[in-house]
Structure 1
Amino acid sequence: MSSPGKRSGRIVDQAKVMLHSALQKRNLDLVRNPFSVQIATAMKWLELGTVLDIGGNIGQYGASLRASGYRGRIISCEPLSDAFPLLAKRASGDAGWTALNTAVGSEPGEIEINVSANSYSSSVLPMTDAHSLAAPGSEYVRAEKVPLVTIADIVASERVDAATTLLKIDTQGYESQVLDGAGELLASFAAVQLELSMVPLYDGAQLFGDLVARMENAGFGIFALEGGFADPRTGRMLQCDGFFLRNDLMPDASGRF
């Protein structure tokens, strides 16, 4: 005869299986260690006090870090006229969160950005069929001219200490140009998070291997990866997020520098 404790454990396990199955049927899932929690944990361990959020959209990234326990400074940049007000509203109630209405690239000035129907797929670069066919509803619907600044500009104007900062870049294929605008400062950042594409989703975008090699040449190693955008027709992963840590900050097996 089984004990009450064992029966209770089986009920909990069965409930987990049922919940997992229900979520999978809706193309959803629960994970033990969400990527935002992993990042917040790493930032706490590294004692990083600032996140430079390039491609803030409506504030999803900043909000997920806050929900995961991060309490440091957030500087979010978003150029689009429809997304920025939502980002600004989200940041307005948070004294540690600054919203900047600008695009970020290789040099200051002005640039035209293609606006996607779903907003978050918007990019300076032309979208390929590989993207639009795998994500119906992501097609471009208009274009906007927006101001353009560089990472170096933001670091100077916002008095950012790169050595205690995570640079997060989610610019839909425009990551390389954003890195260009950091110049020699890139090697000073403690950590960098990039969107990495396995196939060309935007014309002219650098792919996974190129960006990983660039980060390695700048003195960074891969700390964590998160699977992202996949083609629902085939299951092939098209894009993921890579969290890079400066090599001199990388922990050893014991968790020490």
Structure 2
Amino acid sequence: MKLPIGRVHDLLRRFGYEVIPFPADRLLRRSPDVLLDVGANEGQFAQAFRQRGFEGRIVSFEPVPAVFERLTRAAEDDARWEVRNQALGADAGRLPIHVANYDASSSLLPPAARMGEVADFLSFQETAEVAVCRLDDVFDDVCRPGERVAMKVDTQGYESAVLAGAEGALGRIDAVQLELSFLPLYEGEPPAEVVMGWMRERGFVPAYVAPAFVEKPSRQWLQADVLFVRDKTGSAETGLAETS
């Protein structure tokens, strides 16, 4: 007999286990035509989208030159994957990025004291000047009229600046996945509830939340991936770490 998936998850919970779907799966359910991959690093998220059957266009933004080289190699055989050596932010220009020894943690914001307490394996020993643009300024270059657009933003505390430069574009974006912090790990990073309120004011509500960084041994959530969808009262799917 084959048990329903919900029943299997209930049984696992009784033994202290939880099944949390990969956030990309929930974003992929929105059936986008194009994915804006902001803070692409080496292209891991885009590759996960491809592995799950996504055949649409991908536009990845990654500002750190050395990391961008690896991203370029990852995308070179994919004709529907465009890569841009830029950060997104509130204003266009050039800014110093704080480069971490674990490059996925590099940020346009300096690390806060809390970072050293929860991630002592990280060091930020150099900066590099990178190009920054506003999504509002390039949206028509990377998205075509009528396309269903999804956006993932993982910029290590700089998410609110990315959003500030994308207020016009948000009206044409169907779903947004953000990495948010409950205890800010970078200086000037707003806490998750502030960003959630900002998104709600612009017509987006949380539809899925999954842990991204959990402190050991307390198991306290420090960061989470939050999927936002347009608020359609009574129809938006909601839930904290839903497993069905």
Q: TM-score, normalised by structure 2?
A: 0.85
Secondary structure of 2:170's counterpart equals: helix
What is the match of residue 242 of structure 2? Answer: none
The 5 Å alignment of 1:155-174 reads 155-161=139-145, 164-174=148-158
Equivalent-residue separation in structure 2 for 1:237 and 1:231 (angstroms) = 6
Please tell me whether the aligned partners of residues 206 and 228 of structure 2 are also in contact (alpha carbons under 8 angstroms).
yes
Equivalent-residue separation in structure 1 for 2:87 and 2:234 (angstroms) = 31
Structure 1 residue 91 and structure 2 residue 75: aligned? yes
Equivalent-residue separation in structure 1 for 2:222 and 2:21 (angstroms) = 22
Aligned residue among 161, 177, 181 for 1:197? 181
Please tell me whether the aligned partners of residues 176 and 206 of structure 1 are also in contact (alpha carbons under 8 angstroms).
yes
In structure 2, the CA distance between the partners of 1:72 and 1:198, relative to structure 1 (3 Å rule), is same
Equivalent-residue separation in structure 1 for 2:226 and 2:198 (angstroms) = 13
Equivalent-residue separation in structure 2 for 1:118 and 1:208 (angstroms) = 23
What is the match of residue 151 of structure 1? Answer: 135
In structure 2, the CA distance between the partners of 1:231 and 1:223, relative to structure 1 (3 Å rule), is same
Please tell me whether the aligned partners of residues 220 and 244 of structure 1 are also in contact (alpha carbons under 8 angstroms).
yes
In structure 2, the CA distance between the partners of 1:87 and 1:162, relative to structure 1 (3 Å rule), is farther
Aligned residue among 21, 29, 41 for 1:33? 21
Report the RMSD for the aligned CA atoms in angstroms.
2.5
Equivalent-residue separation in structure 2 for 1:53 and 1:67 (angstroms) = 15
Shift of 1:104: 0.9
Quick one: which amino acid aligns to residue 234 of structure 1? S
* Count of aligned pairs between the two proteins: 226
Please tell me whether the aligned partners of residues 40 and 62 of structure 2 are also in contact (alpha carbons under 8 angstroms).
yes
Shift of 1:163: 6.1
Structure 1 residue 188 and structure 2 residue 165: aligned? no
Quick one: which amino acid aligns to residue 155 of structure 1? F
Please tell me whether the aligned partners of residues 38 and 152 of structure 2 are also in contact (alpha carbons under 8 angstroms).
yes
Aligned residue among 110, 123, 127 for 2:107? 123
Secondary structure of 1:229's counterpart equals: strand
- The Cα offsets for residues 171-230 of structure 1, whole Å up to 9 and x where unpaired, read as 111111111111222233111111110012111011110010011000011111111101
Quick one: which amino acid aligns to residue 43 of structure 1? R
Please tell me whether the aligned partners of residues 230 and 236 of structure 2 are also in contact (alpha carbons under 8 angstroms).
no
Gaps of 5+ in 1: 6-12
Point out the structure with max Rg over C-alpha: 1
Aligned residue among 194, 198, 208 for 1:214? 198
Quick one: which amino acid aligns to residue 51 of structure 2? A
Aligned residue among 215, 225, 244 for 1:241? 225
Bigger relative CO (Cα 8 Å, ≥ 6 apart): 2
Please tell me whether the aligned partners of residues 163 and 189 of structure 1 are also in contact (alpha carbons under 8 angstroms).
no
- Give the fraction of aligned pairs with identical amino acids, expressed as a percent: 30
Quick one: which amino acid aligns to residue 36 of structure 1? A
Quick one: which amino acid aligns to residue 33 of structure 1? P
